[in-house]
């Protein structure tokens, strides 16, 4: 399959190029030239398939032209050696728990798949690929752990100083080996700008092979469609319309869901659940896209002021605001509203939400009617935000999983840099 740029100013490329380069040469995001759908009979029998079996069928639609089927099957099963269960919270609201992977966040799905796909393409090459990833928390840990020890790849994780939780920070600053953590004096948007600027700097790309493991990379965001199909398969209320609520920051997650819908997935409505970084929420209301500097909230993975993947949504819908607004409804919540929801759901339902999942849950409460069933994405384990969540539900009520406890034992190793691109460029060239 060929991949074209959202900027429409460069030639389409093959999958290997799209994965190893991350961005198109004109600075746009890659999009597949076609989206192959499923026949209705697939959805009649989907409940009989495991998560891994579903993921393989979806992966063939995306990557089957470029990866031999046996290799793709092995890649999927190796990457997705965990489940994504659907858990009841209320009678008509369910949680799609995406925190059962190695770093306890939804990004384990895309990051682990991308690491293995990139390794597949580099298997017969002696080329060193430098993976640049900006993170507001969970992306860095998922990518770092997904690529840890992979030959021919060095990962640079850029994160905003003082703006990720201690547990999140420990997951990518204690690894060493082929992982370098860069502590940027700025915001997530500064980190993302540095990564994007690196790809467009000609002299830098002449000396280094760079790619991104953020959701701007097709190999990171497309696999996220896997768990939307799994959510439908595990939904036991096929007699009701399905509404899926997605905590939204850089909008790669929701974009993957929209791709799933284009493939035939029976979702009647998507909800973009925002915190106070409400740029897309305002777009849905006004048809004006006005990015601005992000503000810091307790749902830090959603602290994005200029979501990269919104370009893909615009492209997918041919820039039609009415079409986008028909498929996506927007809600926004303040820190105080998020805290209130965490407390109320914990007290009434004995279910512990993380701050991002709380936005998704609250949106379903506001939107659903009696003819609908809702699934929200619980994107990370609440223990990754222990200080925030325990301040709401009480100390000692957020058990620390063994996986996270191991990360906390490691020694932090990070390099502090400022947010100027020249500083970042000089650092990369010195390595």
Q: Which residues are catalytic?
A: 107
CB–CB of 7/28 below 8 Å?
Answer: yes
Which residues have CB under 8 Å from 1's CB, separation 6+? 14, 15, 32, 33, 34, 62, 63, 65, 66
CB–CB of 304/275 below 8 Å?
Answer: no
Q: What is the largest CA-CA distance in the chain?
A: 60
Bridge partners for 97 per DSSP: 378
DSSP 3-state percent helix, strand, coil across the chain (nearest 5) = 45, 15, 35
d(CA 413, CA 388): 24
d(CA 339, CA 359): 10
d(CA 256, CA 262): 10
d(CA 248, CA 252): 8
Helix (H, G, I), strand (E, B) or coil at 349: helix
Q: 10 Å Cβ neighbour count for 271? A: 25
Pairing mode, if any, of strands 372-378 and 241-247? parallel
d(CA 368, CA 182): 42
Torsion of CA 122, 125, 126, 129, to 10 degrees: -30
Tally the residues of the chain: 431
Residue whose C-alpha is closest to residue 157's, from 177, 141, 170, 174: 141
d(CA 12, CA 18): 9
């Amino acid at each position: 399959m060929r991949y074209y740029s959202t900027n429409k100013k460069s030639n389409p490329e093959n999958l290997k190029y799209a994965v190893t380069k991350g961005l198109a040469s004109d600075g746009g995001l890659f999009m597949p030239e076609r989206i192959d759908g499923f026949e209705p009979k697939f959805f009649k029998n989907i409940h009989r398939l495991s998560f891994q079996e579903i993921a393989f069928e979806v992966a063939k639609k995306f990557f089957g032209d470029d990866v031999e089927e046996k290799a793709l099957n092995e890649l999927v099963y190796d990457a997705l050696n965990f489940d994504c269960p659907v858990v009841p919270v209320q009678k008509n609201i369910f949680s799609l728990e995406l925190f059962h992977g190695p770093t306890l966040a939804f990004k384990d799905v895309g990051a682990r798949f991308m690491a293995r796909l990139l390794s597949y393409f580099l298997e017969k090459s002696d080329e060193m690929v430098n993976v640049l990833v900006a993170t507001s928390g969970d992306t860095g840990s998922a990518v770092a752990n997904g690529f840890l020890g992979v030959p021919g790849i060095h990962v640079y994780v850029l994160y905003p100083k003082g703006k990720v939780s201690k547990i999140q920070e420990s997951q990518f600053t204690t690894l060493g080996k082929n992982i370098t953590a860069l502590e940027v004096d700025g915001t997530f948007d500064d980190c993302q700008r540095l990564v994007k600027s690196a790809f467009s700097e000609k002299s830098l790309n002449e000396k280094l092979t760079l790619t991104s493991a953020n959701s701007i990379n097709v190999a990171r965001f497309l696999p996220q469609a896997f768990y939307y199909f799994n959510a439908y398969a595990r939904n036991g209320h096929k007699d009701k319309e399905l509404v899926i609520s997605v905590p939204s920051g850089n909008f790669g997650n929701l974009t993957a869901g929209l791709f799933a819908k284009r493939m035939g997935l029976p979702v009647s409505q998507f909800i973009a659940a925002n915190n106070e970084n409400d740029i897309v929420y305002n777009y849905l209301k006004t048809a004006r896209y006005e990015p601005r500097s992000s503000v810091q909230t307790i749902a830090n993975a959603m602290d994005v002021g200029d979501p990269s993947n919104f370009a893909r949504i615009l492209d997918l819908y041919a820039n039609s605001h009415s079409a986008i607004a028909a498929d996506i409804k927007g809600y926004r919540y303040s820190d105080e509203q998020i805290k209130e929801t965490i407390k109320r759901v914990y007290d009434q339902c004995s279910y512990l939400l993380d701050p991002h999942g709380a936005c998704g849950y609250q949106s379903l409460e506001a939107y659903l009617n009696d003819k609908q069933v809702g699934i929200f994405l619980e994107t990370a384990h609440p223990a990754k935000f222990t200080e925030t969540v325990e301040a709401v539900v009480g100390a000692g009520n957020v058990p620390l999983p063994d996986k996270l406890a191991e990360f906390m034992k490691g020694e932090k190793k990070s390099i502090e840099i400022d947010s100027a691109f020249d500083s970042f460029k000089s650092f990369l060239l010195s390595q």
